[in-house]
Chain A
Amino acid sequence: GAVVSQHPSRVICKSGTSVKIECRSLDFQATTMFWYRQFPKKSLMLMATSNEGSKATYEQGVEKDKFLINHASLTLSTLTVTSAHPEDSSFYICSARATSGGRTDTQYFGPGTRLTVL
């Protein structure tokens, strides 16, 4: 139980285009989802906290107009990288905290999305 999927797993796009990444909790409901960014051989950096039905909370230094987050249902959050540039290339990981159907004090992670901007 407590499975989180992410789609796509890899994406390559041209500079200036937008990319949408989906994060789904498959067998539990998640009021709260988190988006992280990870550079090679580095730790996970929290970008934003996504709450179902309300605006996301962004960490300091993260541009909310560039990284659009939508959490429209209890099982789906999306991250859209708008007008992507090469410096946005990274590994993006989502996690979900169970509202029900899982441990509410534990985050379950998706497999990540590798974004490459040419």
Chain B
Amino acid sequence: AQTVTQSQPEMSVQEAETVTLSCTYDTSESNYYLFWYKQPPSRQMILVIRQEAYKQQNATENRFSVNFQKAAKSFSLKISDSQLGDTAMYFCAFMKAGYALNFGKGTSLLVTP
């Protein structure tokens, strides 16, 4: 079974600063995907970024980027130039190809003025 661990239950960052959210996972699979989802107070799950395990290059989406360390089974999310709208719960998720998502427990991020 795959497990996803987010060791930071809560984090805080000031507007315009950079913050990194941690995620580690455990799997014996070789074909899998990793995701970061954002859940704002509206509770709508929003895809932030995805990474295919077979790709060595780290994914980026505007202010969001990941540091994917496959050997270490680490998948951290960096948010640059943090904005108030980034305040949300962030979930790291693992997906074996063709299967459901396994979520971590989440990190609550608060962006302060």
Contact = CB atoms under 8 A, between A and B. Distances in A.
Interface residues of B, number: 21
What are the 8 closest A-B residue pairs judged by CB atoms, nearest first?
A109-B45, A43-B103, A111-B44, A43-B105, A44-B103, A46-B100, A112-B43, A34-B100
A111 B103 contact: no
A46 B101 contact: yes
A91 B35 CA distance: 22
Interface of A: 34, 38, 42-44, 46, 49, 91, 93, 95, 105-109, 111-112
B16 interface: no
Contact of A106 (B42, B44, B50, B104): B50
A111 B43 CA distance: 7
B91 A44 contact: yes
Contact of B100 (A49, A93, A106, A108): A49
Nearest to A57: B100
Contacts of A42: 105-106
A115 B106 CA distance: 22
A49 B47 CA distance: 20
B97 interface: yes
Contacts of B95: 105, 107
8 contacts: A34-B100, A34-B101, A38-B43, A105-B52, A105-B97, A106-B33, A107-B95, A109-B45
Contact of B33 (A44, A49, A105, A111): A105
